[in-house]
Amino acid sequence: MEKGADRIVTSPLTYLRYGLILLPAAADIFLQQLDYYGEYMVYFLLFLALTVLSRFVRSPAYLRAAVLLEMALSLWLCHQYGFMMVFLSVSALCVYLPLFQERSSKFWMATAHLVLLNIAITDYDPLLITTANLLFLFLAVTFSHIHRMNQKQVDHIQLYDELKRLHFQQDEAGRQLLQFAHQVENAAQVEERHRISRQLHDDIGHRLIRVKMMMEAALQVVPHDPARGMDMLHQIRDQLGQSMEQMRTAVKQMSPGRRIADDYSLSRLLEETGRETGIETELILHGMPYPLYPSQQVVLYKNAREAITNAIRHGEAGRVEILLHYGEQEIRMEVSNNGEVKETVAHAAVPERQGIGLSGMLERTQVVGGTLEIRGTAPFTVITRLPVYRKSEIV
């Protein structure tokens, strides 16, 4: 019911209250011919002391008692010393209006105050009584409005301070989170380096030692048994190829920030194929390229790789061409080669005659909603069609 006692009177009301006490009391000395100025000053100073001391009362119960005592003294002064003392009595509004939070409590307190004031000034002229009542009502409304405005200002200041404190806490939490992220990243890098070093030592290192031993053995065997020596050299070649693959894998894992577009790049696939096999390769783009979903990139890359592998292994192709067409509704990839077209491959689109490689291509394509087509006439072509989804269609 009560507001916090540590903020009894708001600052604007404090100035108004002291003005309503000091100015009328000083004017009353000159306007009235008082017989006992000393007695008047004693009562006035006693009222002023109650006013000042009430600002330092922290207990709500004691504050209510101080307000009632102040009201009683001000009403007695109104009865004894005339109309100017009404201002002293009205000044108590500055205390109990901020004290109570509920409107009903403020209303009943002000009503009781007004009734007691009318009892105290019963002997006044009717015009003065009417003026006193109007003055009381006007100042009550004014003080309530001032208190609400000041309370909003105080709330805004407190809200600003709270937001400022939360902003500082957020900045501190962000700095701690960033520091923790760096620590986690460093720990992950250290762990990854240890793992790669173990892989280099346990796999590639041991394989190279075995290759070295096989080379030494081959040097001893070739002069006496060339066939067996050549077989050992073939094994050494295979071992070196596997070591190179493991080395490439380790290097890829060490490269920072590698994107999926780099791992599944068709141009890189053709470049590596041409470098390793010596066949001619070409990538042709039609339409305006646009970003693809990672799943689509993976399907296109794996289908192209499988089609190139089949062209080299089964068709003995000397040239491979990839045509990538960016359309409005679909993206189409055609992988064609100039190799020999066998009858079994030409009819591979029939489900019961598909090989494992073509079956895998078909399954991958269907997972993302696409279709796979085999064109058996020369040049042999594998066509992958994938639907294109726009953001507006998804949302």
Q: At 278, which CATH number?
A: 3.30.565.10
Residue 330 pLDDT grade (very low, low, confident, very high; cuts 50, 70, 90)? very high
Q: Above 50 in pLDDT, residue 1?
A: no
Rounded CA separation 364/358 (Å): 10
Q: Above 90 in pLDDT, residue 252?
A: no
Residue at which a domain ends, from 93, 124, 155: 124
Q: How many CB atoms lie within 10 A of CB 279?
A: 19
Give the highest mean pLDDT range of 140-154, 193-207, 301-315, 381-395.
301-315
Non-local CB neighbours of 352 within 8 Å, separated by 6+ positions: none
Asked whether residue 228 is assigned to any structural domain, the reply reads: no
Asked whether residue 146 is assigned to any structural domain, the reply reads: no
Rounded CA separation 239/204 (Å): 10
Buried b (16+ CB within 10 A) or exposed e, 204-225: beeeeeebeebeeebeebeeee
Asked whether residue 330 is assigned to any structural domain, the reply reads: yes
Mean pLDDT to the nearest integer, 352-378:
81
Asked whether residue 37 is assigned to any structural domain, the reply reads: yes
Buried b (16+ CB within 10 A) or exposed e, 141-155: eebbebbeeeeeeee
Asked whether residue 225 is assigned to any structural domain, the reply reads: no
Q: Above 50 in pLDDT, residue 257?
A: no
Gyration radius from the chain CA atoms:
48
Bridge partners (DSSP) listed for residue 335: 322, 382
Residue range(s) defining the domain that contains residue 76: 5-124
Rounded CA separation 222/172 (Å): 72
Residue at which a domain ends, from 75, 102, 124: 124
Beta strands in 42-188 (DSSP E): none
Residue 11 pLDDT grade (very low, low, confident, very high; cuts 50, 70, 90)? low
Q: Above 70 in pLDDT, residue 128?
A: yes
Per-residue tokens: 223 = 């002069």
Residue at which a domain ends, from 105, 124, 143: 124
Q: Above 90 in pLDDT, residue 341?
A: no
Residue 326 pLDDT grade (very low, low, confident, very high; cuts 50, 70, 90)? very high
Check if the beta carbon of residue 57 is closer than 8 Å to that of residue 49: no
Rounded CA separation 123/100 (Å): 32
Q: Above 70 in pLDDT, residue 3?
A: no
Please indicate whether residue 358 or residue 324 has the higher confidence score (pLDDT): 324
Please give the tally of structural domains in the chain. Answer: 2
> What pLDDT, in 10s, does the model give residues 174-214?
888 878 777 776 776 677 677 767 766 666 776 777 778 87
Rounded CA separation 244/337 (Å): 28
Q: How far apart are the first and last CA of the chain?
A: 52
Asked whether residue 292 is assigned to any structural domain, the reply reads: yes
Asked whether residue 224 is assigned to any structural domain, the reply reads: no
Asked whether residue 273 is assigned to any structural domain, the reply reads: yes
Please tell me what DSSP assigns to residue 333.
E
